[in-house]
């Protein structure tokens, strides 16, 4: 009897130890939410979908989208395509709406071929020296005469950069053109928080999933996003689906469709490539990196990032945000540790300069990390477990826009301690900057009402953290 009792106690003790160790490993939360599955949702919407409609009128401008056109926020790049002939390359703009004084700026027109595809006439027009915090109206035409088809849109310039300027960014990654993609964009547009511009985290049209990367699917995608992108800047990040290299049809120049269709103000920040650049917008300094360009020591991208980070003035733009496509921290089994090489090189800088948040896509799921770093690891010292680090950014993977490859539902187990929340659902994010010290982030899954947050967090700014008193449990 005594032996049985002793064995029972030993087994109980070992069980308690195992439970305690398990508790140490499972620091975060894996959502138990079950998404309604519909196989047809992952298929691209058919070509006759209303969201792909060609605007009426001969040579009518289409695929209209805008992005920031300078470093400070007083410029805008307006882009559009005319399908049949170049038409006019002039943008007419004015403010306020009833103004009789109108300004005109001319742009450039480019075309490209890809296999047996020839693009329409792609227009890019940069307007500079706009007034801050002003609603402008603009008009573009498909021809030069009075009977030319014209279309009119509007946009709002950001407030002048300043430490306590409130501003709201939307976040979408890996969008594609499926039914889920449409739901994501609709949810973003109807979100009551109202994003003022959108940070796009890479993987745009997924045209490369078609035979010979059918570039007609770039055109449908351009018409699909116009309902948002013509009215507010989309800040572009390049992803792997933009590489578009198809040697067997003679297409070996990477990023060819992307770089012809989407102009960005890379030269304004001293960059030598449109694939990495930075902008200031309201109270944020945004650094865009390319996960699929050379990024090793002494490469052009590495040297540019090395020079850009010290330029960030946290007294003017306190929020330091980094965008890249491939995540540095992700506990999803899909694309697991693909960002490790970039993490090893750039994470020490992110900690040194107190980056507030790094947004990535690529993994078709949502995940938010704790503030951790692994800068002590040098491949031989065995210090390969991330540790809590108050100077480190939060890493958010938001590659859940829609795409045509489906959700990445397989997670690594047990959930690592650096992972705070993860869920395999489609959705979008909102980063609502309040002032120099506080910002609110919310993630919205497509299956919920427009105002519902599936995950949320109050950020305390890394640079101004010491001036914040009484931070509660809901902040990081």
The one-character DSSP state at 224 is: H
Q: How many CB atoms lie within 10 A of CB 306?
A: 13
Cβ(448)–Cβ(454) below 8 Å: yes
How far is it, in rounded angstroms, from Cα 207 to Cα 445? 25
How far is it, in rounded angstroms, from Cα 171 to Cα 360? 10
Q: HSE-up of 14 (CA within 13 Å, CB side)?
A: 6
Q: HSE-up of 433 (CA within 13 Å, CB side)?
A: 29
Cβ(183)–Cβ(446) below 8 Å: yes
- Check 65, 335, 428, 440 and give the catalytic one: 335
What backbone phi and psi angles, to 5 degrees, belong to 331? Answer: -105, 15
How far is it, in rounded angstroms, from Cα 306 to Cα 321? 15
Residues sharing a CB contact under 8 Å with residue 133, sequence separation 6 or more, in sequence order: 156, 157, 158, 159, 160
Annotation marks residue 335 as catalytic? yes
- The pair of structure tokens assigned to 210 is 């078609």
Q: Which residue has the tokens 């507010």?
A: 232
Is 302 strand, coil or helix? helix
- The pair of structure tokens assigned to 328 is 């540095």
How far is it, in rounded angstroms, from Cα 12 to Cα 316? 59
Residues sharing a CB contact under 8 Å with residue 462, sequence separation 6 or more, in sequence order: 320, 354, 355, 356, 390, 391, 393
How far is it, in rounded angstroms, from Cα 204 to Cα 238? 8
**Which residues are the active-site residues?**
335
């Amino acid at each position: 009897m005594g032996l049985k009792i002793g064995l029972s106690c030993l087994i109980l003790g070992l069980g308690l130890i195992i439970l305690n160790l398990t508790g140490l490993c499972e620091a975060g939360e894996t959502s138990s939410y079950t998404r309604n599955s519909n196989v047809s949702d992952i298929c691209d919407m058919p070509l006759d979908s209303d969201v792909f409609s060609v605007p009426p009128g001969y040579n009518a401008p289409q695929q209209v989208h805008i992005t920031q056109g300078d470093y400070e926020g007083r410029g805008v790049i307006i882009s559009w395509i005319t399908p049949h002939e170049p038409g006019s390359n002039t943008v007419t703009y004015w403010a306020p709406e009833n103004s009789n004084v109108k300004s005109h700026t001319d742009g450039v027109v480019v075309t490209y071929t890809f296999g047996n595809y020839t693009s329409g006439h792609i227009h890019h027009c940069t307007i500079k020296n706009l007034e801050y915090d002003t609603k402008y109206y603009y008009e573009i035409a498909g021809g030069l005469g009075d009977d030319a088809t014209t279309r009119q849109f509007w946009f709002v310039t950001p407030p002048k950069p300043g430490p306590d300027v409130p501003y709201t960014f939307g976040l979408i990654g890996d969008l594609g053109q499926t039914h889920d993609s449409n739901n994501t964009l609709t949810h973003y547009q109807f979100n009551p928080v109202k994003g003022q511009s959108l940070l796009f985290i890479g993987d745009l049209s997924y045209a490369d999933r078609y035979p010979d990367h059918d570039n007609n699917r770039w055109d449908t995608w351009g018409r699909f996003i116009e309902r948002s992108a013509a009215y507010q800047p989309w800040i572009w990040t390049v992803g792997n689906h933009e590489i578009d290299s198809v040697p067997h049809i003679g297409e070996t120049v990477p990023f060819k469709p992307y770089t012809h269709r989407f102009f960005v103000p890379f030269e304004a920040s001293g960059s030598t490539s449109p694939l990495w650049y930075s902008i200031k917008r309201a109270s944020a300094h945004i650094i865009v990196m390319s996960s699929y360009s050379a990024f090793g020591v002494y490469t052009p991208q590495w040297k540019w990032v090395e020079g850009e980070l010290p330029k960030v003035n946290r007294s003017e733009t306190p929020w330091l945000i980094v965008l890249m496509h491939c995540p540095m921290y992700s506990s999803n089994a899909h694309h697991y540790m693909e960002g490790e090489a970039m993490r090893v090189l750039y994470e020490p800088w992110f900690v040194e300069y107190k980056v507030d948040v790094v947004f990535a896509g690529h993994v078709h799921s949502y995940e938010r990390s704790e503030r951790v770093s692994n800068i002590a690891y040098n491949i031989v010292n065995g210090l390969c477990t991330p540790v809590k680090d108050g100077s480190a950014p939060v890493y958010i993977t938001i590659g859940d826009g829609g795409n045509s490859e489906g959700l990445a539902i397989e997670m690594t187990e047990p959930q690592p301690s650096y992972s705070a929340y993860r869920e395999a659902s489609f959705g979008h994010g909102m980063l609502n900057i309040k002032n120099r010290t506080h910002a609110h982030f919310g993630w919205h899954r497509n299956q919920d009402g427009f105002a519902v947050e599936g995950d949320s967090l109050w950020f305390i700014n890394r640079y101004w953290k010491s001036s914040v008193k009484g931070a509660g449990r809901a902040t990081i």
